[in-house]
Each structure stands twice: as structure tokens, then as C-alpha cells.
Structure 1
């Protein structure tokens, strides 16, 4: 049995914040941001939009693409680092707002790597017959963690949500199967100071702001992500050269290029949305996948590799045949 992706959906809030908009209240410029990150704009959630609202919109689009309704859903996993509330889990709020029946619902917190970790978790349900229709969602309102006086971080992030529907499907047990084929998940808690938020319920009772050592994160990202991608390909029994599309976490165009170069991947095979979306953390991979499907590049049967690295540090990769 394989966990097959039968529907993909993405949602971006209406407000677009360009680099020129940021330059009005941050000591920065469009040229400075684009040169260092490749980002031109990002979306920002409205004041009355919670992360669950973004997740619900993405979920509805994924369900429609799969030909399913909320009544079919028996498992919801939301990857997020910006929940509506300390508790309950965003997944249970999404369940209520969708009108899905009683089932399993919980969140995964691995920051930008969250979607890959959530896919692996969901695979343990769908491929073992414990879920017939799962929603795996990455949703973030990262702009609410920004220190808008820190130009090194506030220009990098945006808000959004992406979702996939996973359903069990029979395969032959080799790399020709549709579905999730291989994973590599990693974490190194000794690197916490490179990327973290300086607030928390049990420390200072505050939300806090995102703090990052950009140069160190860049160095570790290229090396660690490349290793994880290679391991995920080996786990799936495929060659990286056979991959049709590389869907990376949309953190920084320089990181995307660096990883592709290190892996020997043709940059034409890289799905990049960082210029329009910026870094949407756990939402970035499913948003990029949804974009690639919408514009006709990604098609059923294509072999994909997805990867991400986030605070913790956490990182990982996943091989999928759509």
C-alpha cells in the first residue's frame, strides 16, 4: 500500500506586500532584498484571518481537486508554527470549520520542515490502512512573528497555506508506484541559536520575534538539505537524475540554487515561487506544488523530490510520484 496524493490546493491572502512597500517603513530597498534573496513580494493575512482560515481555504481546494468532500476526511494533520491558540490544535479547528466528521486531528511543529514531517506522519496512517482520506496541511502566518525593525529577517517571510489529500493506493512495491516513496528526516537541537523565536508560553509568556543567523543557516541549509535529498532518493530506490521536479522549501533563491548545484540538478527542474510568496515556512512546499500543477508543469506520474530546513534545526526530504 502507498499513500497517494490525489489532490493539491493552495491559498494566499489577498494583501500583497512588495519590497517597495517594505522600504517605506524598513531600512531596505527592492534591490537589496532581491539581490540577497530573490524575493519581490509576499502575502500578508488580514487582521481578522487566523492561520486556520488559511488552512481551511487550502484544504477545500485540495479536496475539490481530489473529488472529495469534508465528509470523506478521517485524518487532518496541520504543520504550523503560528497556531491560532496555544491549544487546541489548529487541526481540530480546521476540522470544525470544514464540517469534517469525528476523526483524528493534530498538529506537527517542525517549523519550515513541518510539511515534510507531517507527510511522513500521515504516511504511517494511510499506508497502513488507518486512514482512507487524509488532509495534510502546511499553514503559516509568519508575518506575525516579525520584528519589523530587523531588515535581515522581516523581508524574508510571508503568509499562506497549502494542502494535499492522501489516500491509500495499491502499488507494486517499487519506484514506479504512485505515492510517497521515500523519506529522510533529521534534527539537531544544538543548532537552536541559528534560528528561533525569542518567546514562549513556559519561558516568558510572550509570542516573541523570529531571530536568525542568516549566514550560518545558509551554510547548513545547502549541506544538510543535499544530504537529506540524497538519502530520500536512496530510500525510494531512485536516482536523483530521474527526478522530474525538485520542489524545495522556498526560503531563499540562493539556497535553492546552491542545493540544485550541489545535487547536479538542472535549474529548469526546480519549482521556485520564492519571488512571489517569500518564505511561508511549512506552507511553502505545498504552495509551490500547487503552483506547478496549476501552470501545467507538474503532471500525474511525475517523480518529485521535496525538501526543507527550519528552526531546531530540523530538515528533511521526501520522494513522491504524483
Structure 2
């Protein structure tokens, strides 16, 4: 991927460099974002997802032949259909099992984890490759400073595997999930294109309204997920939130009664990568040595729909 900071003008995406009435200081102060990454010309969401998948497979020491299913969270699939997941399946040389996309915008990876967990617990799959991948740069209005300075491209992946457990909080893997949506708020975060308009469209966001919903709903869903298994916040080692805005991240941590020292923050380096932000943050947190085997991780996200949710897992 090409690393494109705001000052470059993002010339690879538009015919002419764009100049906005904003500044690096303004962006950092309001979002915490310092840099982002933009997919190269011709590079697609499935390309990024495939690269992330290969890294996850290598890290796990298994091959694509060992995977039973792929669940890919994205709102920026290469085509209307087939799914980006089946494109990744083909690129990996995986000829068995099944693959499908999940679309819940920034909450997509939470929904994908919940679906993957359900596939395993129901006996439909033993190993599931879960991916979050986005090329949001392709749906940005580069003249709208309220959105175009926030979003970036990226992908991350992990593998869930069936294991015997005791059915207690001491088990490794996903311990609980909480999913929610409320379509009454669809107009505060959406893309104004699609099949109905015969256009790709651009992302539109009422930032203040989204912020107002985000902190309350993220804290609530995280608490609900912990309550389902009787886990107090004192037992949580790390919160890995959707990386949208540092103020939302800090506000949610405060509501959860957890210090920022226990929150994995990567928004400064990636911006908002929608469904890719949580797996990217998990990868970075592990590489930094923050997340270790046996740690309890709470991860939560909210996106267009509105759709939001949380997952509690033991690494």
C-alpha cells in the first residue's frame, strides 16, 4: 500500500491535487489522526484482504487447505457480486468450504466474529478465517473536509479454531457477543449511491450526531457483553475499540471505568479504516507486546445503520 499523508494531496485518487481549508493541527486535535494509508491505483479490497489472510495463515502455521470458511467484513467490496470473500478464497487456492461477506460498516468485524463463532459452535466449521478489509478512499468526497480527512484503507485478519473448553471465562476464544442495530438513524452515516441511484456515491456523515450516539452505545454494548458472562471490567486486560476518533475512544474507556493505559490505540497511524480497524489494532497490539496469550480483550464498534456491538474474548 502507498502511505499517503494529508499533505500529499492524495494525487493518485483525483485528477488534480485538492486543497482544503483545514490543517494538520485541526485534524489531530479533533480526531487524533496523524497519518493514513491509501490503496494504490488498481489495488482492491480483495487484494488487501488476501494479503492480510496470508499473513494470518503464516502466523498460525497452517495453509488455506486447513480453513473451512472465510467471513469477510467490508462495505467496499470490489463488485456488487460476487463477494470479496470468494475472491480471497480463489486467490488463496482454497477449493473447499465456503466464503461470504458481512456488511455492517464499521461494526462489520464484530458481526463477522459473531458469525464465525456461531459457525464453529454449531459445528458448521472447525477453522474460520475472519477478515476486515476496506478501501474507503474510493467512496470519499475529497472536497468534504468533515469526512475525507478521517478515513483510510487497510485490512487485517485472524483465525478462529474449535477447541474443547469448560464453558467458563477461563476458556480461550470468544466468550460472549452482543449485536445491535437501529435503522432509524441510517441518515446520519451513509453512502449516497448504490443500485437505487446507479452511482457509487460518497460517504456522508453527521459527525456530531454520530459522536453523540457512539460513546453511549459503545460503552453499553461492551458492558452488556461482559454482563452476559458475569465478567467485571477489572478482569479485562485490554480494550481494542474501533479506531474512529480518539475522543470517542477516550470517552468510551471513561464510561467503562478503564484507564487509557489498557486501551490499544492505533487511530493516529491508520485513521478510520471501518471494518479493518479492529483486526489492524489487534495485530498492532500483539506486535507491540500489549496483547499476550491468556489476556481478556473487549472489542467494540459502531457504524452506519446504525449498527454496533461488542465481543469479549480470551486471546
Is TM > 0.5 for Structure 1 vs Structure 2?
yes
Q: Does 2:284 match 1:291?
A: yes
CA distances 1:13-37 after superposition (whole Å, capped 9, x unpaired):
2x12223334962221100100100
Secondary structure, counterpart of 1:20 in structure 2: helix
Matched residues in 1 for 2:9 and 2:309: separation? 32
Secondary structure, counterpart of 2:36 in structure 1: strand
Matched residues in 1 for 2:177 and 2:107: separation? 12
Aligned residue in 2 for 1:247: 240
Structure 1 contact 183–236 (Cα < 8 Å) conserved: no
Structure 1 contact 22–28 (Cα < 8 Å) conserved: no
Aligned residue in 1 for 2:7: 20
Q: 1:255-266 counterparts in 2 under 5 A?
A: 255-266=248-259
Matched residues in 1 for 2:164 and 2:103: separation? 30
Q: Does 2:150 match 1:163?
A: no
Aligned residue in 2 for 1:311: 304
Aligned residue in 2 for 1:9: none
Secondary structure, counterpart of 2:119 in structure 1: helix
Q: Does 2:39 match 1:45?
A: yes
Structure 2 contact 65–96 (Cα < 8 Å) conserved: no
CA distances 1:259-295 after superposition (whole Å, capped 9, x unpaired):
0011111110000100000000000000000001111
Matched residues in 1 for 2:8 and 2:33: separation? 13
Aligned residue in 2 for 1:223: 216
Matched residues in 2 for 1:288 and 1:22: separation? 26
Q: Does 2:135 match 1:141?
A: yes
Secondary structure, counterpart of 1:169 in structure 2: coil
Matched residues in 2 for 1:271 and 1:73: separation? 28
Secondary structure, counterpart of 2:248 in structure 1: helix
Secondary structure, counterpart of 2:146 in structure 1: coil
Q: Does 2:22 match 1:35?
A: no
Q: 1:1-322 counterparts in 2 under 5 A?
A: 13=1, 15-22=2-9, 25-201=19-195, 203-322=196-315
Residue segments in structure 2 that go unaligned for 5+ positions in a row: 11-17
The offset of 1:64, in angstroms, is 1.0
TM-score by length of 1: 0.94
Secondary structure, counterpart of 2:180 in structure 1: strand
Matched residues in 2 for 1:306 and 1:30: separation? 29
Q: 127-136 or 18-27, which moves further after superposition?
A: 18-27
Aligned residue in 1 for 2:13: none
Q: 63-72 or 186-195, which moves further after superposition?
A: 63-72
CA distances 1:161-220 after superposition (whole Å, capped 9, x unpaired):
01010110111111010010011110000001110000011x111110000000010010
Paired residues, what number? 308
Matched residues in 1 for 2:9 and 2:216: separation? 31
Structure 2 contact 243–265 (Cα < 8 Å) conserved: yes
CA distances 1:33-84 after superposition (whole Å, capped 9, x unpaired):
0010000010000111110000001001111111111111110010000000
Matched residues in 1 for 2:211 and 2:9: separation? 23
Cα RMSD of the aligned pairs, angstroms, is 1.1
Matched residues in 1 for 2:234 and 2:211: separation? 24
